Structure 1
Amino acid sequence: MDNNCVLMWEIMGPGLAGAVFGAGWWFWVDAVVCSSVKVSFLHYLPGIFASLAALMFNCVKKEDIGYDYYSPYGDSEWRIKLWLFIAYVVSFVSLAGAVGLLVQDALTDKGPSTWTGVAGIFQCVFVLISGLMYWTSHSED
């Protein structure tokens, strides 16, 4: 990759990631505000867990994942990989939960509208994409 592209991504990436994160939560807030019925707390959980997962995998430095990583304090590489695995499991479970709530909302008339379920999926996808964008673009300097 061109050095200018990498530099531009390091400059613009975190701001763009924040905008995508905000857009994800904007979809959710729009759906809750426009809903004709009260949205239960259960519908909030996929977005909350997606945000938590994005925070979890942004706690890991990119340099710590390499196979040539050596620490005199013991084998910490497997802990880092386990942490990332748990973060990705949380992210995929939050996305699956959002899809499940969409199906539930589409099949029943008692809950929120289908738009609330679609917005929950958009929220999870945008939040997780923004977390990955930030992780790839921020520098440790």
Structure 2
Amino acid sequence: MAACLENVQIASCLWFEGGDKRNALASMVAGTLFFLGWWFMIDAHTKYPDDTSNGYLICGICGTLSLLMVNSVTNSQIRGDAYDGGCLGARGARGWLFIGFVMGFAAVIGSCWIMFADYIYNNDARHLWPGYALFLQNLFIIIGSVTYKFGRSEDNWS
């Protein structure tokens, strides 16, 4: 059975070979995921205004701040190659990245908690879409953040 898979060849796509195209694709995918996340929450908040609380938007705001924090630090700053300035140097950049990821994952966990506590287990909730939208918003924001952080090639910047 495994012998039949040895002859399979995947065609090389010339579009991905250049670093500029990879950066463009990573930017488009990450931006689309970020847009879809906020679009889901805006849709749920406008369609069911009585079933959503304005306080639930704090999860999305924390996820957006996480996206900005994670992507404001380059990989060379994390490694300590090109970053000697600042108060803390590479250690401060690593701490900033860590806090950004913690905020992003905390937003996903918080939105999951709200989804289950207020929408799925609550029998009084008339609609489940606001809970799903809140979770999908934060999930798409963190996936977009990770896509933009690790999908880019920083070789062209040096």
TM-score class, shorter-chain normalisation, is 0.7 to 0.9
**Displacement after TM superposition at 1:112 (Å):** 6.7
Partner of 1:45: 58
**Which is greater in Rg?**
2
**Aligned counterparts, 1:5-44, within 5 A:** 6-35=19-48, 37-44=50-57
Note the aligned Cα RMSD (angstroms).
2.6
User: Is 1:39–1:111's contact at 8 Å kept on the other side of the alignment?
Assistant: no
User: Is 1:35–1:116's contact at 8 Å kept on the other side of the alignment?
Assistant: yes
User: Is 1:25–1:123's contact at 8 Å kept on the other side of the alignment?
Assistant: yes
Partner of 2:148: 134
Higher relative contact order (CA 8 A, sep 6+): 1
The 1:74–1:90 alpha-carbon spacing in structure 2 relative to 1, beyond 3 Å, is closer
**Aligned counterparts, 1:64-103, within 5 A:** 64-66=77-79, 68=81, 71=84, 75-103=88-116
Point out the more displaced range, 38-47 or 87-96.
38-47
- Alignment partners' CA distance in 1, 2:43 and 2:85: 50
Query: Which 5+ residue runs of structure 2 have no aligned equivalent?
Result: 1-13
The 1:111–1:48 alpha-carbon spacing in structure 2 relative to 1, beyond 3 Å, is farther
Partner of 1:122: 136
Point out the more displaced range, 104-113 or 77-86.
104-113
If the length of structure 2 is used for normalisation, what is the TM-score?
0.75
Q: Deviations over 1:91-118 (max 9, x none)?
A: 1111111011101222224557321111
If the length of structure 1 is used for normalisation, what is the TM-score?
0.83
Aligned length: 140
- Alignment partners' CA distance in 2, 1:38 and 1:20: 24
User: Is 1:13–1:138's contact at 8 Å kept on the other side of the alignment?
Assistant: no
Partner of 2:7: none
Percent identical across equivalent pairs? 24
Letter of the aligned partner of 2:97 in structure 1? Answer: L
Letter of the aligned partner of 1:108 in structure 2? Answer: N
The 1:72–1:90 alpha-carbon spacing in structure 2 relative to 1, beyond 3 Å, is closer
**Displacement after TM superposition at 1:40 (Å):** 1.2
